[in-house]
Amino acid sequence: MNYDDVIREFKKGNIKMYALDGLIGSNKATEARRHFLEEAGGRKYTEIANTSLDFDKVCGKNAENTIGAAQIPMGVIGPLMVNGEYAKGEYYVPLATSEGALIASANRGSAVITQSGGAVARVVGDRMTRAPLFKVPDIDHARMLAKWVEENFDEVRSISDSQTRFTKLESFLPFFAGRNLFLRFSFSTGDSMAMNSATKASDAIASFLEEKFSWAKLVSVSGNMCVDKKPSAVNLVLGRGKSIVAEALIPKELVETKLKTTAERMADVCYRKIYVGSAMAGSLGGFNAHFANLTAAFFAATGQDLAHVVEAANGLTMMEESDGDLYASVTLPDVPLATFGAGTSLPTQKEALEILGLYGSGENPGDNCKALAEILSCTVLAGELSLIGALASRDLTKAHMTLGRSKR
């Protein structure tokens, strides 16, 4: 069929939307699907069409049934001084958001950190997890299977590691619930987030165990003990993806001149809002002011999986007065990140990573992604400092009315 024949049959309903890519290529299929919606809606969607994306490269990798692209404003904060093990120096950090005042607020926090000599950042954990769920006859069989995996871990690791080049099995933890056995596998993943690789490796392990133990039946390669794209206590405690801590000591003078308040007042707001308020609300892991704001903007700019914001938003902010100065820290135990693969290769997101000097895999696999994690943690710290400072000085409403309101 030629192009005209395909479009004719598509309009008649004889060809499904998803089938167009294989018949006329994804660039033309994108245009055809959009024109179909334009005819149905009686208007042109010129802004959705306005994109530099090559859908022949995008479809099947980043999206399906494409009709164009969504644009999000991107700004930059900085210079942000990061004193990490992998990220060292001053960085301009791209953030993509539609929330007015967010970038300006984070930029203020960035200036405070940099003028204080920078924030110390450390990656304290690095693991991607997948937890296959097995149905077994009883608890004794569950214990038997878990014990066999423990005693033969080298054999299990060899099965896993044969599936992918950079994703390597590091450890596992069993969890028992009646006839259900969850095996939570933890992998190192280099510069990729590698959820698909972890799934592939876990599936190979599960198939091997099913064949060896006929009474063990795989229910799901993901048993929700991973825990992927959901808030959870287990990830808060054990960590997932990158686990990161950033801290800074802000001199009294900067707290007073830049944040317009005092260390004592900020520490009080942090304690009463973040810990008492969150406890009263029954918050699950979100003992912070607004991790989600900065992680979402950072993820959108750098091509991360946006659904992982629900994990990255879990974490702790702490502030203490120290001889008039302010000690501030953020702990992010559950941040899946990548500098290689998936959304990081999209043109805009690739350029954003290039601003940071962190696109792709570094000389030592994994170093770029750890550097990205350190920069993210300092960015989140900047956001927490600025917001809690604004609350302490009672400037939050004024800032949002100035920068965040629609002009009518």
> Where are the alpha helices (H) located in 343-393, listed in sequence order?
347-355, 367-393
Token couple for 104: 């300006």
Strands (E) located in 108-208: 119-130, 133-135, 168-177, 180-188
Token couple for 115: 């003028």
Residues 322 and 336: their CA atoms lie apart, in Å, by 33
DSSP percent split of the chain into helix, strand, coil, nearest 5: 50, 25, 30
Active site residue 400: yes
* Residue tagged active-site, from 99, 203, 264, 268: 99
Which run of H or E residues covers position 219?
strand 217-220
Amino acid in the structure at residue 356: L
* Residue tagged active-site, from 256, 305, 321, 351: 305
Residues 187 and 94: their CA atoms lie apart, in Å, by 29
Asked whether 360 and 191 are in contact (CB, 8 A), the reply is yes
Non-local CB neighbours of 183 within 8 Å, separated by 6+ positions: 131, 132, 134, 146, 149, 172, 173, 174, 205
Q: Are β-strands 88-96 and 217-220 bridged in parallel, bridged antiparallel, or unpaired?
A: unpaired
Q: Among 128, 127, 53, which residue's Cα sits nearest to residue 303?
A: 53
Non-local CB neighbours of 279 within 8 Å, separated by 6+ positions: none
Residues 87 and 101: their CA atoms lie apart, in Å, by 27
Active site residue 39: no
Active site residue 305: yes
Asked whether 195 and 129 are in contact (CB, 8 A), the reply is no
Q: How many CB atoms lie within 10 A of CB 347?
A: 14
Which residues form the catalytic set?
99, 305, 400
